[in-house]
Amino acid sequence: MSHPKVIANWKMNGSKEAIQIWLEGFANEINPTAQKECLFCPPVIYLETAKTVIRDKDLNLSLGAQNLDIDSLHSQTGAVSASMLKDVGCEFVIIGHSERRTLFNEDNLLLRTKVISALEGNLAVVFCVGETEKEDSTSKDLIRKQLEALRDFCKPKIVIAYEPLWAIGTGEIPSGSYLNDMHSFIKDELKYILDKEQDFSVYYGGSINAENANDLMNLDCVDGLLVGGASLDSSSFVQIINKIYS
Ligand code: PGA
């Protein structure tokens, strides 16, 4: 399975109506070839609505979840498993987003277990890493530790999203040379952790918009984009896609 290159992460936003309107705009403005490069991740409660519209409009975009809960022998009130996500049409799941790490205290051990649950449930994984502070000399050490959660997994169903926290929702993006350095570091580190000559795809996320998306995507080291705020409005998301794929 190939990963779509542009991910819309709606976080805790939207409504049934908003999903309908967004997907209609998407259907009207984006051609089927470019649609195939998009992954839509609405809140879990709206996955079924999204799946229905995607099917009814015969759209080519993929559906993903923003999180999953681990498979466990114990009852887990309120939890959502990989097989449930699969059941409502998800092919992908985001794991390790910085907001999950900080607001929900998700640590490396838990994230590793989530990746296992996702892969066993036949979901492909977008695994997020990123440092907290700008120009911090410990950034690479932190990311190295975050990547440890993937030790011994293999490539085909995992992509990495590099999202420095200082760039998320701030309007600030890293320079091209900084991104090249960090993405190359992540790719090299994964080869070391996995002891394999696998080339992982590394996406970038943080303050992407219609003005900077194309330049970011044109960087050699950037294999895809994870878009938060600018994905909520269908016209700004359409602009991002059309600038990249027209
Ligand atoms: P942003 O969010 O595009 O609003 O900065 C990105 C993300 O958190 O995935």
Catalytic annotation, pick one of 37, 97, 183, 189: 97
Does residue 228's CB lie within 6 angstroms of at least one atom of ligand 1? yes
Mean pLDDT, rounded, for 3-18: 96
Mean pLDDT, rounded, for 44-62: 97
- pLDDT for res 135: 78
pLDDT band at 130 (very low <50, low <70, confident <90, very high): very high
CA end-to-end span of the chain, whole Å? 24
Mean pLDDT, rounded, for 153-173: 90
* 69-128 pLDDT, tens digit each: 998 778 899 999 999 999 999 999 999 999 999 999 999 999 999 999 999 999 999 999
% of the chain beyond a pLDDT of 70:
97
Residue whose CB lies within 8 A of the most ligand 1 atoms, among 207, 209, 233, for a mutation test: 207
Is it the case that residue 159 has pLDDT exceeding 90?
A: yes
Give catalytic status of residue 24 as yes or no: no
Q: How far is residue 114's CA from residue 158's CA, in Å, rounded to a whole number?
A: 12
Is it the case that residue 162 has pLDDT exceeding 90?
A: yes
Interval between CA 207 and ligand 1 midpoint (Å): 6
- pLDDT for res 155: 63
- pLDDT for res 1: 59
Give catalytic status of residue 97 as yes or no: yes
% of the chain beyond a pLDDT of 90:
86
* 171-202 pLDDT, tens digit each: 999 999 999 999 999 999 988 887 676 778 99
Q: Which of 77, 151, 83 is nearest to 113 (CA)?
A: 151
Is it the case that residue 156 has pLDDT exceeding 80?
A: no
- pLDDT for res 2: 73
Q: How far is residue 244's CA from residue 246's CA, in Å, rounded to a whole number?
A: 6
Does residue 169's CB lie within 6 angstroms of at least one atom of ligand 1? yes
Count, residues in the chain: 246
Does residue 130's CB lie within 6 angstroms of at least one atom of ligand 1? no
Does residue 66's CB lie within 6 angstroms of at least one atom of ligand 1? no
Catalytic annotation, pick one of 37, 99, 131, 163: 163
Token output for 53: 């519209």
Is it the case that residue 154 has pLDDT exceeding 80?
A: no
